[in-house]
Structure formats: C-alpha cells, structure tokens
Amino acid sequence: TSSYRIASIPGDGIGVDVTVEARKVLDRAATSHGFSLSWQEFDWSCERYTKTGAMMPDDGIEQLSRFDGIFLGAVGFPGVPDHVSLWGLLIPVRRAFTQYVNLRPVRLLPGTTSALAGRTAEELEMVIVRENSEGEYSEIGGRHNRGQENEFVLQESVFTRVGVERIIRYAFELAKTRTGRVCSATKSNGLIHSMPFWDEIFAEVSSDYPDVQAEQCHVDALAARMVQAPDRLDVVVGSNLFGDILSDLAAAVTGGLGMAPSGNINPTGEFPSMFEAVHGSAPDIAGQGIANPVAQILAGAMMLDHLGETVAAQNIHAAVEKVLEEGTVQTPDLGGKSTTAELGSAVVAAL
C-alpha cells in the first residue's frame, strides 16, 4: 500500500484548531482507501518566533524537503508583524520548493449562500491560478532618506519570462480539463513595464491552445466582473498580487473564506507541494473550537488529489457536501452552533 510522509505545520490561531479536524478526516480517508499517511508535526509558528526569534529552524527547508506533502494551518499572531511571520515561513517555502502555482478553486457549496443576489451554484464555480513565486512579492527595494522630508520607498516587482510563461501555460492546461476558458488579469494600462510583458506572453501561449477561449481583463474591471457577472469566468490567471486579491474576492462571492482551500503546487513533482486554507489565523476566535474546518479539510483533499489519491479526494468532497447539505452540523459562521470538532467528526462519519 502507498504511504505518504506529510509534514503538518498547524501554525497559529485557528490554524491549529482546523488542522486537527482535517487530519482526522484525512486519516479516515486513508484507512478506507487503502493508503497510509505518516504525519510529522512541526511547531513552526509565530509562537515559536516569539520564543526563539525564528519562525522555523535554519534547516527548515531541508527538513521539509524529505516529505511528500506539506499541510499548513495558518500563520499570524498579534504582535508579530505579518511581514516577519510570512517571509519567515510561508513565502520561503513557496519559493524554495518552486511552488509556482497557487491553485484556488472556489464554488458555492450546498448549505451556504452567496453574498451575491440571484446567483446559482453553477454560475459561481471558478478557479484562480495565482502566480506564486515572483511578481509583486519581492524582497528588492528599500527606503531612502529615512525620517527626512524627501523620504521615499522603492518596491520592485519582478516578472521573468520563465515565471510568467509557466503559470500561464498551467492555466491553459487546466482550462482544457474544464470549460475551455481562460481569463488573464492584467493592468497594462497603468503598470507599463510588467503587465505589457505579461500580456505578450499570454498572447504567445494562447496561440498554442487554439481550442481554449482566451481573454484578458484589467484587474479593476475583473474585480467588478466577479461581482456583476461571475458566471462567465472559469479559469482566471493572475500575478502573485492580482491572484491574491482575486482569490479572496472569488471566495467572498461564493461561499466565503471559511470554505476556500488552496494548493501551493510544484507541478514537476521535484519538490513537495503545500496545502492550506485561504483564510488566516483569526486570533480573535482561536482556541474556542468554533472555527469552520471546511477550507482546511478541502485543502487536505487537494493534497490527496495531488498525491494521486483522486478517489479519496473526491470522496472527501462528497462527504463535506453531504454534511453541509444536511445542515444539522454547522459552525457559527454557517449559522449553526456546532464546534470545529463536531463538524470534523460529521465529515469523518459521512466518509
């Protein structure tokens, strides 16, 4: 039987709460589908940072490299600046393992309602393919004339041909397996160096996919479209920042951030991929057992799918949908009174 080594990094806040439940579900899926998961847990987090001054040990990346998958809760803690926690863990992992795709599927799950008026579940199914290795998230830049009247900051965005081409190609390949439609987020009217380059490569790649319907849309108009006409969107590909914004927005117009999983994927399989919920660590409700574990459970399903356990992944999806459809076990954000653990157990039972 196949066995997968999984590094679990629950992180901070509700990351810890939801990871426990997702592991219960994944372990049950493993048992009933004839594979095994061998978990190793890492306490890398803001809590660790406040004690040791580092989010993870110096050889953290090396340690993770021995795993088949990385299962991340959420990182972030009041008092630890976000740029410290994220650039000390999340972003280095994404980059060291060339997880250049951040895949963020959204859809309206049963038992949940869209924030939009009069939309059916079919109109609200899409996937954001976010570039995850370069772009606007860059360490290049700095601050000049500190404290002076003429103080200023430079922040560099970096787009490479290799980086842009591979993410766009990934989006086209994905579109072939879905509706055959790709929309590229651009802003070439305002950002006159980076985005015309992005558009040019988008046009080049699209000529390799005559059967895929390719369009591009400025990110401002695209944000409006997600609200006003989401039905005509399916695969949306965007830069690191645009993908970040559009995926939160897409989650909001569908079932909300409590339901949205995310995969940081190294498509070649050379390095482990990392799966997480789109939501953050939500310190305000952490440890109370009221966080919604669905996003993390679905992130687990994405991980199994990535590892090749497609049927198990589908069955987890089906089990989540069954529980949501029944609507008897719901966390407060879904309008119910159940705990994180009760929802987790209900999914296990439904499996």
Ligand X SMILES: CC(C)[C@H](C(=O)O)[C@@H](O)C(=O)O
Which H or E run contains 342? helix 340-350
Cβ atoms of 201 and 169 within 8 Å: the answer is no
Of 78, 142, 190, 335, the residue at the interface with ligand X (CB under 6 A) is: 190
333 is catalytic: no
- Backbone phi, then psi, for 35, in 5-degree steps? -140, 170
Q: Does 123 bind ligand X (CB under 6 A)?
A: no
Chain positions 227 to 246 lying near ligand X, rule: CB under 6 A, are 244
Cβ atoms of 220 and 246 within 8 Å: the answer is no
Q: Does 61 bind a second copy (CB under 8 A)?
A: no
248 is catalytic: yes
Give the sheet arrangement for strand 213-218, strand by strand. Answer: 36-41, 3-11, 69-74, 273-277, 261-265, 101-106, 126-131, 235-238, 181-186, 213-218
- Residue 23 CB, nearest distance to a second copy (Å)? 26
Residue 1: CB atoms within 10 A of its CB come to 7
What burial class does residue 50 get, using C-beta atoms within 10 Å of its C-beta: 0-12 exposed, 13-18 middle, 19+ buried?
A: exposed
Of 58, 59, 122, 149, the residue at the interface with a second copy (CB under 8 A) is: 149
* DSSP secondary structure of 169-193: HHHHHHHHTTTSEEEEEE-TTT-TT
Of 43, 62, 139, 215, the residue at the interface with a second copy (CB under 8 A) is: 139
Active site residue: 4, 137, 170, 209, which one?
137
100 is catalytic: no
Q: Which does 268 bind (CB under 5 to 8 A by kind): a second copy, ligand X, none?
A: none
By beta-carbon proximity to ligand X, the closer residue of 20 and 91 is: 91
Q: Does 207 bind a second copy (CB under 8 A)?
A: no
Active site residue: 51, 82, 176, 220, which one?
220
HSE-CB of 128 using CA atoms within 13 angstroms: 35
- Residue 274 CB, nearest distance to ligand X (Å)? 10
- List residues with catalytic annotation: 137, 187, 220, 244, 248
Footprint of ligand X (CB under 6 A): 86, 189-190, 220, 244, 278
Footprint of a second copy (CB under 8 A): 76, 81-83, 85-87, 91, 113-118, 136-137, 139, 141-143, 148-162, 187-197, 218-221, 223-225, 227-228, 240-241, 244-249, 251-253, 256-257, 280
